[in-house]
Amino acid sequence: MTTRIPGIHHVTAISGPAQANVDFFTGTLGQKLVKKTVNFDAPDTYHLYYGDAAGSPGTILTFFPFADAGPGRAGPGMASAYAYAIPASGFDGLMEDLALAAIDFAGPEERFGARVITLRDPDGAPVELIESAAATDRHGFHSVTLWERDPERTVRLLADVFGYEDGGSEQAGGITRQRLVAPGAERGNIVDVIRDEAPSIARPGAGTIHHVAFRARTQDEQEGWIDRLASVGHRTTPVIDRQYFNAIYFREPGGVLFEIATDPPGFAVDEAPETLGQALKLPPQYESIRDRIERVLPPLTVAR
């Protein structure tokens, strides 16, 4: 059974050294490290998950931290930014706190009637914070931005297949931005699709987004999406068990890697909710080499 996509499940990006990444997201941004595990395809590398205290869908930002990763550069065919929703009542206070802490940010500027400020993470990637009347905390996503050469085909997929609705368009600084909104009030229910007149060549690496994952509330919904996407010419991968959710992947028409991830089983499947993110959790296939993995991975200190 398919239905409309309710919003973003998670965003996965690439970073440089893990400790700097942890310091920024748990310290500067105040996110919780909800899962410390490894890259399923490269177990000598961490896979770090940040979100709210429960690891709720719509709050999860994940990183593959490669200490020797070269710098990346966003460009057409990539997701170029993600944004957190900041409660409108606390937006001025947040800017004051950042200024007092000598944390630099750009803005505020206005986008679709809301104020936006932009920080840079340790790898130079933009982290957008957007004023939101609906937000109740600072942990949930507001939106993601997709940079496209030909936005029309991507917009058509989001609207005609995923069920997103037209949220208007704006032009500023040579960038045309079209907004798509998933009906309802779920976190991360906005996708902005941009065309930038400035020439750029995308280069994956530290400071870039690897993929964007959308939500399927159940396994049945996810299986329905496999059939629905196939019916419009998008073949997905088979269902892949990612331990905390099941995943399918495909490339949208502009080249951005999309995932559809299930809400269950969630991040408390292998550790208690109150201790999420404290211990190194390994997928079963790597438990037999835990000692070797722990010797290779750098130790991490997490702000409490």
pLDDT of residue 173: 85
Please report which residue ranges of 144-193 form alpha helices under DSSP H. Answer: 151-156
Among 83-92, 95-104, 160-169, 195-204, the range scoring the smallest mean pLDDT is 195-204
Domains and CATH numbers, the chain: 8-296 (3.10.180.10)
pLDDT of residue 156: 98
Q: Please give the biggest Cα pair distance in the chain.
A: 54
Choose between 261 and 2: higher pLDDT: 261
Site of tokens 């992947």: 249
pLDDT band of residue 304 (cuts 50, 70, 90) is low
Amino acid at 106: A
Q: Please, which residues have CB within 8 angstroms of residue 276's CB and are 6 or more apart in sequence?
A: 32, 33, 34, 35, 53, 54, 55, 267, 268
pLDDT greater than 70 at residue 2: no
pLDDT greater than 80 at residue 116: yes
Mean pLDDT of the chain: 96
Cα–Cα distance, 70 to 206 (Å, whole number)? 6
pLDDT of residue 303: 72
Average pLDDT rounded to a whole number, residues 219-223: 97
pLDDT band of residue 199 (cuts 50, 70, 90) is confident
Cα–Cα distance, 236 to 247 (Å, whole number)? 10
pLDDT of residue 300: 96
Amino acid at 97: D
Cα–Cα distance, 39 to 263 (Å, whole number)? 20
pLDDT band of residue 198 (cuts 50, 70, 90) is confident
| Distance spanning both ends of the chain, measured CA to CA | 42
Cα–Cα distance, 108 to 202 (Å, whole number)? 27
pLDDT tens per residue across span 42-82:
999 999 999 999 999 999 999 999 989 999 999 999 999 99
Spatial contact of 72 and 205, defined as CB atoms under 8 Å apart: yes
Site of tokens 């080499």: 289
pLDDT greater than 60 at residue 1: no
What 3-state class would DSSP assign to 292? helix
Query: In the β-sheet with 165-172, what is the strand arrangement from edge to edge?
Result: 106-111, 114-120, 126-132, 78-87, 141-147, 190-196, 175-181, 165-172
Average pLDDT rounded to a whole number, residues 200-209: 94
pTM, to two decimals: 0.96
DSSP string, 194-232: EEESS----B-SBTEEEEEEEEESSHHHHHHHHHHHHHT
Cα–Cα distance, 257 to 185 (Å, whole number)? 25
Q: Please, which residues have CB within 8 angstroms of residue 224's CB and are 6 or more apart in sequence?
A: 1, 2, 3
pLDDT of residue 3: 81
